[in-house]
Amino acid sequence: MNLEPEEKDMLDGKYGKSAKKSMEILTTLGEIFDAECMVEIYSVQIAGVSYANLGEAGLEFLNEMAEDGKVRVLTTLNPAGMDRENWQALGIEEEFAKNQNRAIDTFAKMGIITTCSCTPYLIGNAPHYGQHIAWAESSAVCYSNSVIGARTNREGGPSALAAALTGKTPKYGYHLDENRHGQVLVKVHAPVKGTDEFGVLGKIIGDKLVELGKKIPYITGIPSATVEELKSFCASVATYGGTALFHMEGITPEHNRYPKPGDIVFEINQNDLEKTRAELIDADIEIDFVSIGCPHASIHEIAELASLLDGKKVNKEFWITTARPTKRIADEVGYSKIIEDAGAKFAADTCCVVAPIKGRFKGIMVDSAKACYYGRAKNKFKVKIGTIEKCVEEAIK
Amino acid sequence: MKLEGRKIYKGTAEAEAIVTREGISFYGGVDPDTGKVVEVGHELEGQTITGKVLVFPTGKGSTVGSYTMYRMKKNNTAPVAIVNEQIDTIVAVGCIISEIPCVDKINISNIKNGQKIIVNGSEGIVEVK
């Protein structure tokens, strides 16, 4: 790899121990993927925040990096294993809370903004079109590449941290035009509406891409989509297909930038949507948990929930998972009071995927196809997908 | 026999090889406290990789696997070196942060289970004794 003088100095240890280790990680990845050089990045999103995933070993590594490491670019965090203010009410054990806070404090020591959210693009870590970034969190990677048109590979926890501490990432993969072309033409012949249905669509496309061994779909037939629908779609297609980038005709900014694929065509009709939706509903489910906000709920979704829950009472555990800054807006506007008066709980900073709730519930109802996947695989719940309205109906039944 | 590959992480180690044709997921697939492979149905299930040269085609699974490797190193349960056919980012980053010598681009069918091998991560060479 061709390194700039400053990058060489980092590798030689002139910028300290953690910059050296970081540059070792980045140059090795660069060599593996044939990067010619590094590229300067605008921002970083770090995953591997939950203590349940990090463990003592991960924490020890972070502490080592925090001895002399300071981030050089805007850096935010993925969800943690708990709500940092409300963890007791959500049934999190004190020992876990203590360890989770140790991890977050270590990130803070490095100058990382400790907003623990999978939707950094909604709360100030907002790159613009064409900017290079180094993000972890598969749904946010997919959103930034596709919906924003920024450029990132799918980073892991350590490689994202290394990018943050150096301000650089090796220039390969999705940073280069030639790797951003659509590979499969996906024609949608049915109306798609709502976060749940966009999640279903994401699963259909993701599953098909895995079968085809392809990564980048070019989707037609979607006349409009909201930010919330797109974030749900991103989470789903990334979960089921490992997709980091898609193009959607008339919607995403790069849909006209590269030649439209035509060799492999895949069609989706109403039947496919119904069939796949059925795969996300366990027949013998007994619902005792409802969770909205995978990816983290926007203020728009919280407004909708407030209106649906106004004057009602929930009879099941009901979580709204969101970013702390979004929760603060909901507090200010008065949505939080309406929602909490109805008996629903905010779980900020965390989500139903990363919180340590394995086995605590029997069946979960969600509006997210990603949450269905992890609800089954990680937490051993039965799952059911439905619209936000249906989720609220179930909770107040 | 000398096999030439690509250096991933520096350092030299000599030990018995433990070889599998299946991918390894360090997160969930290996117990960092015992050094045993615990993935159900894996060819190496129940076998310990501690102190050996672990030879496998490529890594798989969650990126948290890099931290698992680091934890194994701290627990003294890690393999002393890693040889891959094609490295993936999880194992590469794991080797760097855990300082485990590693070489890839090796035809691993040349290495038999139990053979003594020397891994020279600085030169990208694997020697089968």
* pLDDT tens by residue, A141-189: 999 999 999 999 999 899 999 999 999 999 999 999 999 999 999 999 9
Rg over CA atoms, chain B? 13
Give the pLDDT of residue A144: 98
Between CA A214 and CA A194 the distance in angstroms is 26
Q: DSSP state, A85?
A: T
State whether A55 and B63 contact (CB < 8 Å).
Answer: no
Q: What is the mean pLDDT of residues A3-13?
A: 98
Interface of B with A in 86-105 (CB under 8 A): 87, 89-90, 92-93, 96-97
CB contacts, 8 Å: B74 with chain A: 57, 60
Is pLDDT at A255 greater than 90 in this prediction?
yes
Digit-coded pLDDT (tens) for B30-52: 999 999 999 888 999 999 999 99
Nearest to A61 among B70, B87, B90 (CB): B70
Dihedral of CA atoms A233, A236, A242, A246 in degrees, nearest 10, equals: -10
Pair type for strands A168-170 and A43-46: unpaired
For the whole model, what pTM was predicted?
A: 0.92
Is pLDDT at A320 greater than 90 in this prediction?
yes
With an 8 Å Cβ cutoff, is B66 touching chain A? yes
- Supply B14's token pair: 């000599």
Between CA A295 and CA A315 the distance in angstroms is 24
CB contacts, 8 Å: B5 with chain A: none
CB atoms within 10 A of CB A319: 24
Is pLDDT at A55 greater than 90 in this prediction?
no
State whether A24 and B67 contact (CB < 8 Å).
Answer: no
ipTM: 0.80
List, by residue number, the catalytic residues of B. 62
Rg over CA atoms, chain A? 21
CB contacts, 8 Å: A141 with chain B: none
Using DSSP's 3-state secondary structure scheme, residue A219 falls into strand
Query: Percent of chain B, pLDDT > 70?
Result: 100
d(CA A56, nearest CA chain B) in Å: 8
Is pLDDT at A203 greater than 90 in this prediction?
yes
Give the pLDDT of residue B63: 73
Give the pLDDT of residue A373: 93
Type of residue at A353? V
CA A126 to chain centre: 14
Average pLDDT over chain A, rounded to an integer: 96
State whether B32 and A47 contact (CB < 8 Å).
Answer: no
CA A52 to chain centre: 17
Residue A90 binned pLDDT confidence (cut-offs 50, 70, 90): confident
Give the pLDDT of residue B61: 74
Using DSSP's 3-state secondary structure scheme, residue A382 falls into strand
CB contacts, 8 Å: B71 with chain A: 55-58, 60
Task: Give residue A256's region: left, alpha or beta (phi > 0; psi -120 to 50).
Answer: alpha
- What is the chain A residue with the closest CA to B89? A29
CB contacts, 8 Å: A48 with chain B: 63-64, 67
With an 8 Å Cβ cutoff, is A4 touching chain B? no
Between CA A155 and CA B44 the distance in angstroms is 29
Between CA A199 and CA A385 the distance in angstroms is 9
In the Cβ-directed half-sphere of A309, how many Cα atoms lie within 13 Å?
30
A345 - beta bridge partners?
A319
B31 - beta bridge partners?
B36
d(CA A344, nearest CA chain B) in Å: 32
Nearest to A159 among B9, B62, B93 (CB): B93
Pair type for strands B116-120 and B125-128: antiparallel
Buried (b) or exposed (e) across A237-266, using 16+ Cβ within 10 A? bbbbbebbbbbbbebbbbbeeeeebeeeeb
- Supply A163's token pair: 């990018």
Is pLDDT at B112 greater than 80 in this prediction?
yes
Digit-coded pLDDT (tens) for A257-299: 999 999 999 999 999 999 999 999 999 999 999 999 999 999 9
